[in-house]
Amino acid sequence: MTGTADETQVGVIVELEVGAVAHGGHCVARGPDGRVVFVRHTLPGEIVRAEITDERPGYLRADAVEILREAPERVSPPCPYAGPDRCGGCDFQHVDPAAQRELKAAVVREQLARIGRLAPEEIDALRVTVSALPGGPLGWRSRLRYTVDAAGRAGLLKHRSHEVVPVESCAIATPAVRDAPVTGREWPDADAVEVVASSGGDRTVTALGGDRPARRIDGPDRVVEEAGGRTWRVDPAVFWQVHPAGADAFVGSAVRMLDPRPGERAWDLYGGAGTFAAALALAVGEQGAVTLVESDERAVFAASANLADLPQVKVVHSPVERMQVRGRPDVVVLDPPRAGAGTRVVRRLIESGPRAVAYVACDPAAFARDVATFRGAGWRLAEVDAYDAFPMTHHVECVGLLVPE
């Protein structure tokens, strides 16, 4: 695999011995010219023939198109759309589910070491494992956005591409999502179609984009969700965990770690519709106080309506970065978007002086970056729970407990 600066390696087939898993759904190998190659559709220890799909100055990307030596964890993908040059939504269809969780745990540990700068003994003390959620590796995704191609067909995108793969159904979607009237028909006036199947039994289908505003094709304006022993009514567009068991698992971990006490003050930052705030409110009681901060107007409306029976909860409509919240919290739930909270928010939070922070993270790299900021201010990562909330993909959810030294 050689060439001048004017010659591209894209499309070239190379033989590779595959090394460790890396964040992003691929494994790491070394090409014949010594460059790092990030290879999808493979497993550590395999020998593969791989097609180069992307070339950058310091590395290459590739798809394993032929397996010359299989790892024992390899299985036949249960979805016909999984594999090279097909749907890019699932990274690990070819991996035994238990081995998927081991790969994700390895990624979490590696990110905490490399980006979070935790020492090996700190990583070992955390004993990071990834727990399965109820329901199995297929049929769990309760929210799915299809992309519409130029012919009006609904499908799913290829990896790192805007190219649409028309599909009949998605194997990781819940039956209610799979049965929605989306595939098998044309969508001439839409760029995307979003399906939501709530835990309360509602289903909506919404056409997005094109020359017309978003329009509801099927279902109610509010869907019912069940979480934390409560019933929630929310706009389908409001963020909600896509795994039906996710909300209860993450709330349970955060509250257990924080151990909120009666009369304490709690902050719920990036609070969404309020699932964490509700659990915190029950723990601190009516003599305590919970402040939920959220920037999305529809989520703020949902939180205000669904938490109206909990007078100790105050909902603040504001970006967390610019929030005007007075007083010192005792405990904090920090549940930022995929990019993480960032240095500014973390430093502001540390200055507010809580005794503990439960950080809920859907991206281990962003989590590790923020952990490094906490550690630089004298805090430590005391505990991590990790969940396989997105089976068949590389994504993993972490809940970490951060405390001052």
Residue 282 CB-half CA count within 13 A? 13
Residues that are catalytic? 362
Residue entry with tokens 């109610």 = 220
The enclosing H or E element of 126 equals: helix 120-126
Integer Cα distance of 26 and 42 in angstroms = 7
Integer Cα distance of 35 and 38 in angstroms = 10
Assign 393 to helix, strand or coil: coil
For residue 273, what are the contacts with CB-CB under 8 A and spacing of at least 6? Answer: 225, 232, 234, 238, 239, 240, 299, 302, 303, 306
Asked whether the beta carbons of 42 and 27 are under 8 A apart, the reply is yes
Six token digits for residue 199: 């835990």
Residue entry with tokens 């310091």 = 58
Q: Report the relative pairing of strands 265-269 and 289-294 from DSSP bridges.
A: parallel
Neighbours of 224 (CB within 10 A): 14
In total, the chain counts a number of residues equal to 405
Q: What one-character-per-residue DSSP string does 151-203 give? A: TSBEEEEBTTS--EEE-S--TTB-HHHHTSTTTTSB-TT-SEEEEEE-TTS-E
Q: How far is CA 293 from CA 268, 342, 405, in A?
A: 6, 16, 27
Asked whether the beta carbons of 346 and 319 are under 8 A apart, the reply is no
Nearest CA to 257 out of 336, 368, 331, 341 is that of 331
Neighbours of 184 (CB within 10 A): 10
